[in-house]
Amino acid sequence: MKRVWGYIATASLFFVLIWGWTLQVDSSLNYPEFISGGALFFVILVLCMFNVRKRLPFLPLWPAHKWFLLHSVSGFLALFLFWLHADVLWPKGLYVQILAVLFYGTTLSGVLGLIMEKIYPNLLTRVGLECIYERIPRDLADIRNKAENLVLECTEKTGSDTLAQHYFETLGWFFQRPRFIINNIFGGQNAQTWVMQQCSVLERFLNEAERDYLDQICVLAETKRKIDFHYSLQTMLKKWLLVHVPLAAAVMAMVIWHIIVIQVFFI
């Protein structure tokens, strides 16, 4: 997170320079909006170029991590310039209000995304297991099958259905699909507590042989919990861009139209 403050500080520095420039222009009775607007447009252009750069990995256009740095600093700079350019937090006029919503939406999603990118990787590493996102559904299905087979086997071998009943009442719900997603996203521990509780609550009702099966199921549940955690966080890491990028595209389109209109108005 220290880095994020670094991006903000760098953006502020550039902002102060541009702001000083507009003040100077202002005092010489020109239109300072042209300076702030021009700078804002340029910065938005740079922001959107990130996407173009990602599509051209084979061109020697600076390594991607430099673009990332540029994008993060420019993102904050764009926000400051937007305030300078509009002069208020919430501008007047329907068109620019729509533009403002989209812009704030892009920036907010960007900032949230950035924060996730700085916090989540370490949380994922701490789980102590790595999974390929696309394979998660298959991994979960495998685990579920194993768990269900154990339950069946337990009933067959021990002749008691205590474990099976508990499985179908509660544990089965957990094994069905990713659970505790929201809680995971906020870094919560609910899943862990739940798994532990469900495993321990049953123990005193089982005999030695059944307990063996329960232990194996609990190990599976623990693995499943970890995969769920990966699923939740990796989904967020992937899906936030589906908000950020379309909003960014809309901003770009509206900005261009805004500029055309201003040009026509002034000529």
* Binding partner of residue 40 among another protein, ligand HEM, none, CB cut-off 5 to 8 Å per kind: none
Q: Which is nearer to another protein, 132 or 260 (CB)?
A: 132
Q: Which of 88-96, 127-135, 178-186, 241-249 is the region at the interface with ligand HEM (rule: CB under 6 A)?
A: 241-249
Minimum distance from residue 212 beta carbon to another protein (Å): 22
Segment contacting ligand HEM by CB under 6 A, of 40-48, 131-139, 175-183, 210-218: 40-48
The answer to whether 225 and 196 have CB atoms below 8 angstroms apart is: no
Nearest CB to ligand HEM, comparing residues 47 and 220: 47
Q: Is residue 101 at the binding interface for ligand HEM, with CB under 6 A as the rule? A: no
Here the tokens at position 11 are: 């953006």
Q: Of these, 14, 21, 34, 68, which contacts another protein (CB under 8 A)?
A: 68
Out of ligand HEM, another protein, none, what residue 63 binds, judged by CB under 5 to 8 A for its kind, is another protein
Which of 92, 93, 94, 130: binder of another protein (CB under 8 A)? 130
| Residues 117-156 as x/- pattern, contact with ligand HEM by CB under 6 A | x---------------------------------------
224-249 as b/e: b if 16+ CB within 10 A: bbbbbbbbbbbbbbeebeebbeebbe
Residues 32/26, Cβ–Cβ less than 8 Å: yes
79 binds, among another protein, ligand HEM, none (CB under 5 to 8 A by kind): ligand HEM
What is the residue-wise DSSP string for the chain? -HHHHHHHHHHHHHHHHHHHHHHHHHHTTS-HHHHHHHHHHHHHHHHHHHHHHHH-TTS-S--HHHHHHHHHHHHHHHHHHHHHHHSSSS-SSHHHHHHHHHHHHHHHHHHHHHHHHHHHHHHHHHHT----GGGHHHHHHHHHHHHHHHHHHHHHHH---HHHHHIIIIIHHHHHS---HHHHHTT--HHHHHHHHHHHHHHTTS-HHHHHHHHHHHHHHHHHHHHHHHHHHHHHHHHHHHHHHHHHHHHHHHHHHHHHHHHHHH-
Minimum distance, C-beta of residue 51 to ligand HEM, in the bound complex (Å) = 4
Show contacts with another protein in window 47-66 (CB under 8 A). 54-60, 63-65
Question: In this chain, which of 46, 69, 143, 245 binds ligand HEM, going by CB under 6 A?
Answer: 245
- Cα 179 vs. chain centroid, distance in angstroms? 18
Near another protein by CB under 8 A: residue from 46, 120, 215, 258? 120
Judged by the rule CB under 8 A, the positions of this chain that interact with another protein are: 54-60, 63-65, 67-68, 117, 120-122, 124-125, 130, 132-133, 234, 237-238
Judged by the rule CB under 6 A, the positions of this chain that interact with ligand HEM are: 44, 47-48, 50-51, 54, 68, 71-72, 75-76, 78-79, 106-107, 110-111, 113-114, 117, 241, 244-245, 248, 251-252
